[in-house]
Amino acid sequence: MCKRTCCDRVRQNKNDIKYSGSGTTVDYQQAKHMEFVPQLSNGTENDTVTVPNIPAVVCILCVECSLDV
């Protein structure tokens, strides 16, 4: 299985497949391989990405809301 995102290719393989005794469930280990494809990207592998700390933002908003009461 190969899925395409904006700037990489993802290949997913299911390894170590085991079926339950009754045959109703399947257990497996999923391995993902990601490959950067420069032609699909607007930047490089060395670009800096800034991501907000969502739990910290939520905590700050909760404290600010509780002080307004």
Q: What pLDDT, in 10s, does the model give residues 5-64?
A: 555 677 788 888 888 888 789 888 888 887 777 787 787 778 898 999 999 999 999 888
Q: What pLDDT, in 10s, does the model give residues 55-65?
A: 999 999 988 88
Q: Does 7 reside within a domain?
A: yes
Number of domain units in the chain: 1
The residue assigned the tokens 């109703």 is 24
Rounded-to-integer distance, Cα 41 and Cα 5, Å: 10
Whose CA is closest to 31, among 16, 49, 20? 16
Q: Does 65 reside within a domain?
A: no
Assess contact for 30 and 45: CB atoms under 8 A.
no
Q: Does 16 reside within a domain?
A: yes
Q: Does 49 reside within a domain?
A: no
Whose CA is closest to 14, among 28, 33, 34, 35? 28
